[in-house]
Amino acid sequence: MINARRALRRARVKAAELAKQGAHDAAAGRRRGRLARAANDLANLLEVTEQIIGQTRQRIAGTIPDGASRVVSLHDRDARPIAKGRLGKPVEFGYKAQVVDNDDGIVVDHDVQAGNPADAPQLAPAIQRVKDRAGHPPRTVTADRGYGEAAVDDALTKVGVRTIVIPRKGKPGNARQQVERGRTFRRTIKWRTGCEGRISTLKRGYGWDRTRLDSLEGAKIWTGQGIFTHNLTKIAALTA
């Protein structure tokens, strides 16, 4: 690291001397840029490595590092552990994304967040964004049981949604069971279940399996490009 910075200082001094003489070396400028980026990358890598060493010492001492700030990647410091509870893969690492699509299969809103925030509070803001773009709220909103809270229904009603079809968490009371056994409720739930393949499609064909850009901002850019491409493909198929 010391040698890299020393070389960068020498390159900058040489560039300053050339500038005084009225000369300009474009190739040398590009080399300085690459050298500066390499020095910065190395400094970041050393900082992350020191943090990982500290976390390792905590684990050896019997303490679990805080998941909200724990570094799990040398290259992406914003990535976080996300407990999924799946067999064979109980914990994944990265970011949490949410997708909202319409009955044509076009994604009308998406969001990427660090860590593992609760699902329920994310829905009403997403529908509000859809309303702001379209000029009116969707008539019906359905989601999986992870969003099934009375507070979510109330928030969606305030946004202007008429029909809310979200199964409640836990064991619902008798009145709620009657609602969820209704024909319209069950038909809409079946439609939502059929849309579960949207995430799988985005992962398989549009880069949502792994972001190639580091940091939360990079993940948002990467997933946004995937959504844009997906929607173009879907719209082209619908209008063909």
Per-residue pLDDT tens over the stretch 197-224: 888 899 999 999 999 998 999 999 999 9
87 located within any domain: no
State the pTM of this model.
Answer: 0.75
Are 156 and 127 spatial neighbours (Cβ–Cβ below 8 Å)? yes
Query: Same structural domain for residues 118 and 189?
Result: yes
Query: Same structural domain for residues 50 and 142?
Result: no
Query: Same structural domain for residues 12 and 101?
Result: no
User: Phi and psi at residue 159, in whole multiples of 5°?
Assistant: -70, -25
**What pLDDT, on the 0 to 100 scale, is given for residue 222?**
96
Domain-ending residue, one of 17, 45, 60: 60
Q: Which residue has the higher pLDDT, 82 or 221?
A: 221
**What pLDDT, on the 0 to 100 scale, is given for residue 37?**
75
Query: Same structural domain for residues 143 and 233?
Result: yes
Q: Which residue has the higher pLDDT, 32 or 203?
A: 203
235 located within any domain: yes
Of the pLDDT bands very low, low, confident and very high (cuts 50, 70, 90), residue 11 is low
**What pLDDT, on the 0 to 100 scale, is given for residue 149?**
93
DSSP H stretches of helix in the chain: 2-20, 26-60, 120-134, 150-159, 174-180, 183-194, 197-205, 215-239
Closest CA to 73 of 89, 95, 58: 95
**What pLDDT, on the 0 to 100 scale, is given for residue 112?**
95
Domain-ending residue, one of 13, 43, 60: 60
138: exposed, middle or buried (C-beta count within 10 Å: 0-12, 13-18, 19+)? buried
Task: Identify residue 201 by its one-letter amino acid code.
Answer: T
d(CA 61, CA 32): 44
Mean confidence (pLDDT) of the chain: 85
Q: Which residue has the higher pLDDT, 195 or 74?
A: 74
Query: Same structural domain for residues 56 and 104?
Result: no
Per-residue pLDDT averaged across 168-189, rounded? 88
Residue 1 has pLDDT above 60, yes or no: no
User: Phi and psi at residue 90, in whole multiples of 5°?
Assistant: -70, -25
Number of domains in the chain: 2
Query: Same structural domain for residues 137 and 228?
Result: yes
29 located within any domain: yes
Per-residue pLDDT averaged across 143-158, rounded? 93
Query: Same structural domain for residues 132 and 175?
Result: yes
pLDDT above 70 coverage of the chain, percent: 85
d(CA 129, CA 141): 14
N-terminal to C-terminal alpha carbon distance within the chain: 57
* Six-digit token string for 57: 């010492």
**What pLDDT, on the 0 to 100 scale, is given for residue 24?**
59
Residue 173 has pLDDT above 90, yes or no: no
Q: Map residue 128 onto helix, strand or coil.
A: helix
**What pLDDT, on the 0 to 100 scale, is given for residue 18?**
56
204 located within any domain: yes
Per-residue pLDDT averaged across 141-165, rounded? 93
Query: Same structural domain for residues 175 and 121?
Result: yes
Domain that holds residue 196: 95-239
223 located within any domain: yes
Query: Same structural domain for residues 25 and 117?
Result: no
185 located within any domain: yes
Query: Same structural domain for residues 147 and 220?
Result: yes
Q: Map residue 238 onto helix, strand or coil.
A: helix
d(CA 5, CA 107): 47
Domain-ending residue, one of 40, 60, 80: 60
Query: Same structural domain for residues 136 and 55?
Result: no
**What pLDDT, on the 0 to 100 scale, is given for residue 50?**
87
180: exposed, middle or buried (C-beta count within 10 Å: 0-12, 13-18, 19+)? middle
90 located within any domain: no
133 located within any domain: yes
Query: Same structural domain for residues 122 and 205?
Result: yes
**What pLDDT, on the 0 to 100 scale, is given for residue 32?**
65
